[in-house]
A and B are shown apart, each in its own frame.
Chain A
Amino acid sequence: MIQVEGLTKRFHDNKRGEVIAVNNLKFNCQKGKIYGLLGPNGAGKTTTLRILATMMRPTVGKVKVNGFDVIQEPDEVRKQIGFLSGETGLYDRFTPRETLKFFGRINGMEDKIIDEKMGEIFQALDMENFKDVRVSKLSTGMKQKLSIARCILHDPSVLILDEPTVGLDIITARTVTNYVESFKKQGKCVIYSTHIMREAEKLCDVIGIIHHGKLLAQGTLEELKKHSSLEDLEEIFFELIEQENKTK
């Protein structure tokens, strides 16, 4: 599970001076649940997920993944997580099989285990017919399947997905969202960032609406509707954003 408390990230920008990318965030995500971070571009979603994935350090606050602290025990945290983003590139000059072998090895897996796991994943994701084709020759959908395979190869219990459908066509995007649902069924804890309302509504058990680095509201879809007296997530979202912009 994921516990985030008082998470703040400040950094210095030459043009803008001190920037608060994430401001005092607090949320939890349990096993078998999907927590959606919904927000416009620049809201602080990616920074939050990079901190969860140990790529960045928080300025203030506590972040724990399965009980491991991201600052104190980053190596342990990395064993727990799988990270996937729309931008997560792949090595063009390698085949899916070689890609997975490489990532399996640097994730401390034995070759025999990698081969077994790879076989399972190729079948489950229907990758058999392109497992030995170089990535540069694959379609976007095939590439995204490989990205998912890379992300789950070492069987992580926590998945951090940063806008995984961005830039994908609807068919490929649906493949990705179907897998996200299957992660939930497997009892994994999933953090999912998106700016697409429909995805958040469909996938997430709990939705946190984030803007200017602040968590404006969080709860189940029903709770958000009840609290705002609005029926549509998009309406709720714009209402909250408008209020926040007025206070700025």
Chain B
Amino acid sequence: MNYKNIKSVFSKEIVGAIRDKRTLITMIIVPLVFYPLLFIGMGYFNQMGNKKSEEAVSVVAIKGEEFALQLSEYLENQEKIETTTKEDNELSKLKNREIQAIIEIPPKFDIKVKQGEPSRLVLKYDTTEAKSRVAQKRINQAIDEYSKEIVSQRLNDLNLNEKIIHPFALEIENVASSEKVTGTFLGFLLPYLVIMLIFAGAMHTAIDITAGEKERGTIATLLVSQISRLEIVLGKFLSIMMISFSSMVIGLFGISISLLSGNAVAGRGGIEGIKLGMTFNTFLLLFLTLLPLVGLISAILVIVGIFARNVKEASSYITPIYMLTIFLGIISISQGIELSGNMFFVPVLNSSFVFKEILIGKIYWSHIITAFTANLMFAGIALFGATRLFNKEEVLFRS
């Protein structure tokens, strides 16, 4: 094996990919410009929408006001709640967004409350409407306060101290460090996105330098040169790995910034609350565990690209593989799923879980080593398969 030949093919493919505008757009412009703009924009509009809903006065129709005059007055006096009592077709008005909620008061409500008998109120709202959700929250809060006042009054009438119904207080303290909070937030989405980035970043280049070479007839010029098939495959494979890995790193950076800044703009935790809390070594470990996965995906892309007659055929073969990869990656999003030891042998699935574990600061060496070895082994097998295919004339000259 001649390393100079591998290097020549590798450099040729990398230069070719860099000169391809499509690579630059998918690798740099989309993650570093488009993603942040998208997320920040989404965060901004989300915040605007929330603010508008919070500021708006909720119009609430009270049905059967005469059965609960005190409660109606209590609600009327609430800030940002406006009550109407003589409405017809309340339900259709709620659906048409003319009002935001309906309270239905049953007959004899006041009398029952006074007599200490149980009674029941019905609150109707539309969960798909932001303003209606806000109204529901406001009414809920107001009624809760009102209910507490009644309880307090009843205790008072019985000459009992309020403490009797509050035997103790519960104080809740969140011990998760901001590092862990950030890690969990990123760990929820990133493993799945990483798999997507590895695949999407390499896909275009991989197809272009395999099936594309067949389509354009340049493959014959390589085959008649004094370079072995193995050297060609290795050069191409390494260049796809390089492109894929770079896309992943750039994409991850872009997405992390986008997610966090988008979230910050949306008002759910500011940038200052973000602490990744990862040492350089952890970062290194994170990328090292992903390396065999990048290798495996690159080798699979080479196999598909060599097997396909042309670019179009390669794209249609890759789509189902991409979907399967995404499916395996998506499993890690599901909260509460823990992989058993043997499942760490399953490529893609293992990497997304190890990635998630490292992000939240849990480093299980057994998982890391199993995932690394399994992916490396599968990558080796796939690469062997790719080289075998490259030696098959019926595959290279399929028409």
Contacts and interface: CB of A to CB of B under 8 A. Distances in A.
B227 A11 contact: no
Contacts of A83: 220-221, 224
B225 A55 contact: no
B3 to A, nearest CB: 12
Interface stretch (B5-13, B239-247, B264-272): B5-13
Contact of A85 (B220, B228, B396): B220
A87 interface: yes
Contacts of B396: 55
B8 A90 contact: no
Given A83-B221, A85-B220, A107-B226, A56 B5 contact: no
Contact of B226 (A55, A78, A98, A102): A78
Given A94-B16, A102-B8, A87 B220 contact: yes
B224 A55 contact: yes
Contact of B227 (A50, A53, A56, A106): A106
Interface in A94-138: 94, 98, 102-103, 105-108
A154 B224 CA distance: 12
Contacts of B144: none
Given A50-B397, A102-B12, A78 B218 contact: no
State which size class the interface on B falls in.
20 to 34
Contact of B224 (A54, A87, A89): A54
Nearest to B219: A89
A105 B7 CA distance: 10
Contacts of B223: 53-55
B226 A88 contact: no
Nearest to A107: B226
A98 B218 CA distance: 15
Contacts of A108: 2, 226
Interface in B14-31: 15-16, 19-20
Contacts of A179: none
Contacts of B4: 105
Chain A interface category by residue count: 20 to 34
A181 B296 CA distance: 50
Contacts of A75: 226, 228
A91 B12 contact: yes
A56 to B, nearest CB: 5
Contacts of B220: 53, 55, 83, 85, 87-89
A184 interface: no
Residue among A56, A92, A93 with most chain B CB within 10 A: A93
A105 B11 CA distance: 12
B387 to A, nearest CB: 16
A62 interface: no
A85 B220 CA distance: 9
A57 interface: yes
Contact of B225 (A57, A85, A92, A106): A106
Interface of A: 11, 50, 53-57, 75, 78-79, 81, 83, 85, 87-94, 98, 102-103, 105-108, 150, 154
11 contacts: A55-B220, A56-B397, A57-B393, A85-B220, A88-B217, A89-B218, A93-B16, A94-B12, A105-B5, A105-B8, A107-B226
Interface of B: 2, 4-5, 8-9, 12, 15-16, 19-20, 213, 216-218, 220-228, 393-394, 396-397
